[in-house]
Structure formats: structure tokens, C-alpha cells
């Protein structure tokens, strides 16, 4: 699946699944993803959860124009550190209106160990310059 996001691509993030109301990203951890304590950096965790939530509400069908949006609010709970392996961020829309939608996401190891969760509000719209 093709990811058109220079920031996420530069980190090595892969878009594994994307459909209406859902998105899944995968990241194989490398030393560059870790903080000074050797754990997955909190900012990268936030980016993965933000992307999973955001993309879940921005899916366009085959041949349709890309849909863009921005994060209005994002709350994150950091539950457990990750030091190696692959992490998976899964997001889903829980409610949507005309321009705002609400989504939640989880970050887990391949074995299913929960690392972090997020809930957020997102606004659809804007041109290509919106995130």
C-alpha cells in the first residue's frame, strides 16, 4: 500500500491497511527510533497514534481525490515501553460529523502487548497543505 507522507516515510513507517474508518501502520524499530534510555521515543509513539487516528477518517475510494485533514486534539496514554521488534498502530473512527470526526488508536507489539492508546478529534478538509 502506497504511503504519500514524507514525514512517516522518512521514519520507515509502513501503511499496512487502510479502509473506510480504519488504518494500520507498522514500524520495525531501529536504533534511530529510540530515546536515550533505549526505549521507543514518546514523540514517535505520538506520531504513530496520530497517523492511525487521522488516516482512519481520511480514506478515499479507488480513483477518488485524496482527503486531507488536521488534528484538533489528541490525548495519549503511555502504558509500556518498547525496545525492539515491530510495533503496530491501529486506528478507527468512533464517530463522525460533517467536518469533525473522533477516533481512537492503540499501539502494540506484534505479539499483542499494548504499549499506548490515544483518542482524538480531527477535522476533514483543507487542501493539500493541510496535514
Q: Starting at the edge strand that comes first in sequence, how are the strands of the sheet with 114-124 ordered?
A: 14-19, 22-28, 86-96, 100-109, 114-124, 69-78
Q: Lowest mean pLDDT: which of 23-27, 31-35, 124-128?
A: 124-128
- The pLDDT of residue 95 is above 50: yes
- The pLDDT of residue 63 is above 90: no
Domains with residue ranges and CATH for the chain: 6-124 (3.10.129.10)
Q: Lowest mean pLDDT: which of 17-26, 61-70, 99-108?
A: 61-70
- pTM for the model stands at 0.92
Amino acid at each position: 500500500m502506497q504511503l504519500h507522507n514524507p514525514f512517516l516515510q522518512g521514519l520507515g513507517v509502513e501503511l499496512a491497511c487502510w479502509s473506510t474508518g480504519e488504518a494500520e501502520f507498522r514500524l520495525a524499530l531501529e536504533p534511530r527510533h529510540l530515546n536515550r534510555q533505549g526505549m521507543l521515543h514518546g514523540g514517535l509513539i505520538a506520531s504513530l497514534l496520530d497517523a492511525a487516528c487521522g488516516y482512519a477518517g481520511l480514506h478515499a475510494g479507488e480513483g477518488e481525490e485524496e482527503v486531507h485533514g488536521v488534528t484538533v486534539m489528541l490525548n495519549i496514554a503511555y502504558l509500556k515501553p518498547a525496545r525492539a521488534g515491530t510495533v503496530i498502530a491501529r486506528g478507527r473512527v468512533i464517530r463522525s460529523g460533517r467536518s469533525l470526526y473522533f477516533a481512537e488508536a492503540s499501539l502494540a507489539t506484534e505479539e499483542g502487548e499494548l504499549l499506548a492508546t490515544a483518542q482524538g478529534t480531527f477535522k476533514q478538509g483543507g487542501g493539500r497543505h493541510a496535514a
